[in-house]
Structure 1
Amino acid sequence: MAETARLRQGPVVPRVESALRAMLAERRWRPGERLPNEVALAAELGVGRSSVREAVRLLAHDGLLEVRHGSGTYAARTPAPDAEGGIRRLLRRARLREVYEVRRALEVEAARLAAGRVRPEDIGRLRDDLTRRQERAGGDPAAFVDADLAFHRTVVELSGNAVLLGLFTSVLPVLREALVEMVRYEAALPDVSDAHAGLLDALARGDADAAIAATVSHLGAVMELIEKEVAAP
């Protein structure tokens, strides 16, 4: 099938999701009808079973599929032609942009304050956090995001501003969810390891301007990618 060839380009799971969504829209399986099992779908689409499983999970979350444990996966409803998938992806991207706008506002100020308040013993803690982040890069998306956010939360904590820390902590669940999704599915994520190392170095030197610049650099690189995706048709 033509869609199978397209599955080989770009992140696999979103393309499996798109292929299954198209099949549902074409009423290949009517509501209440059971889909082939993971093995059969993976073979047809030329992907691994884990990719099919994750795509099914996403479609079940949207109410298009129903997973009945011990029985199989069933079509729940037919998606609206063409528009539904694109609208959902656009909402995801727009939501992520809003989260990053809030994140930038909080972390830039946190970096500025932390540069003037950090103690020598705090640098060792930050270095350990950064090492854990780097060790998890390229591995499990959730583990990497947790390590990344632990590093940034430490920076916010070292700002010495309890209100700022409270605000950052309140947005962490939304931020984590969005970041895990982005790391899992986005193939073109920029490498911001150098900016993280630059932030640590700036804090160790007590250089507020450099700490701000490093924070803007690593968040700005990701925001630029997000902006392009939101603007894309």
Structure 2
Amino acid sequence: MTPWPKLERGPLVPQVEAMLRERLRSGEWPAGTKIPSEATLASQIAVGRSSIREAVLLLCRDGLLEARHGSGTFVTGAERTVEDVAGLMRRARLLEVYEVRRSLEVEAARLAAHRAPAESLGALRALLDRRRSLGDDPARFVAVDLDFHDAVVGLSGNVILSELFTHARPVIENALVDRITHDGPLIDTADAHDALVDALERHDEEAAIAATVANLEETIRALRAE
């Protein structure tokens, strides 16, 4: 076993955490193995057991170690990189955005199916045509996609829903562009968008709701599964 480095003056827990983290990085403690007991580590490193306990808790919080009651503490895998954490944050933020969108847009679609005049649907179909042509440009694609959804919300005839969407749009737009730029395209929901316009044309509230849920829920499930 590699000798433990000598402790320096100063707080002990950060030093112990760094030592344990280095053992994990070096592969000396491979994934799935049980690390030495708290008492053994305290003796080897020449610190109190409380310092070992706190350092291990920090590594458990980072997902590098797992404490199993009655069995000991085990190595779970490689440390997350900054890029991994950033990706997790993007997914978490986008998931929250989609949960809010679902609440707002489902009701807007229901009302739009009841209230939208037939002459307004040509503009919606034109936006869908533009949306299809901008798949390689994340910022423009998202802008046109949200123009479409903004128009549907507007057709609901509910001023408060429209105001809510207007205020939420910058957050939605930034989250979508950031996700697509870093992690690639979202799930293709073009069929759900077409189905929504068809439902509005028929004044079919249930179909409009189903199309809106199909558009948003598939992405929500994918984000939760990642």
TM-score of the alignment, normalized to the shorter chain, above 0.5: yes
Paired residues, what number? 148
Q: Paired residue for 1:141, among 138, 141, 144?
A: 138
Corresponding residue number in structure 1 for 2:211: 214
2:198 aligned partner, one-letter code:
D
Corresponding residue number in structure 2 for 1:48: none
TM-score after normalising by structure 1: 0.60
Q: Paired residue for 2:186, among 184, 189, 192?
A: 189
Give 1:149-164 correspondences, 5 Å limit.
149-164=146-161
Cα distance in 2 for partners of 1:190, 1:226 equals 10
C-alpha contact 2:90 2:179 (8 A) present in aligned 1: no
What secondary structure, in the 3-state scheme, does the structure 1 residue paired with 2:133 have?
helix
Give 1:47-58 correspondences, 5 Å limit.
none
Deviation >6 Å, runs of 4+: none
2:194 aligned partner, one-letter code:
A
Cα distance in 2 for partners of 1:209, 1:180 equals 30
2:202 aligned partner, one-letter code:
R
Q: Give me the CA root mean square deviation.
A: 1.5
Gaps of 5+ in 2: 1-78
Q: Quick check: 186-195 or 210-219, which moved more?
A: 186-195
Give 1:36-185 correspondences, 5 Å limit.
82=80, 84-136=82-134, 138-185=135-182
Instruction: Mark the structure with the bigger radius of gyration.
Output: 2
* Offset, 1:132: 1.2
Q: Quick check: 175-184 or 204-213, which moved more?
A: 175-184
Corresponding residue number in structure 1 for 2:196: 199
What secondary structure, in the 3-state scheme, does the structure 1 residue paired with 2:112 have?
helix
Percent identity between matched residues is: 51
| Alpha carbons of structure 1 residues 144 and 188: separation in structure 2 relative to 1, 3 Å | closer
* Offset, 1:82: 4.3
Gaps of 5+ in 1: 1-80
What secondary structure, in the 3-state scheme, does the structure 1 residue paired with 2:216 have?
helix
Cα distance in 1 for partners of 2:85, 2:105 equals 30
* Offset, 1:181: 1.8
Cα distance in 1 for partners of 2:213, 2:152 equals 14
C-alpha contact 2:108 2:153 (8 A) present in aligned 1: yes
Deviations along 1:163-214, whole A, 9 cap, x unmatched? Answer: 0011111110110011112222334632111110000000011000000000
Cα distance in 1 for partners of 2:147, 2:140 equals 11
Deviations along 1:16-59, whole A, 9 cap, x unmatched? Answer: xxxxxxxxxxxxxxxxxxxxxxxxxxxxxxxxxxxxxxxxxxxx
Cα distance in 2 for partners of 1:215, 1:224 equals 14
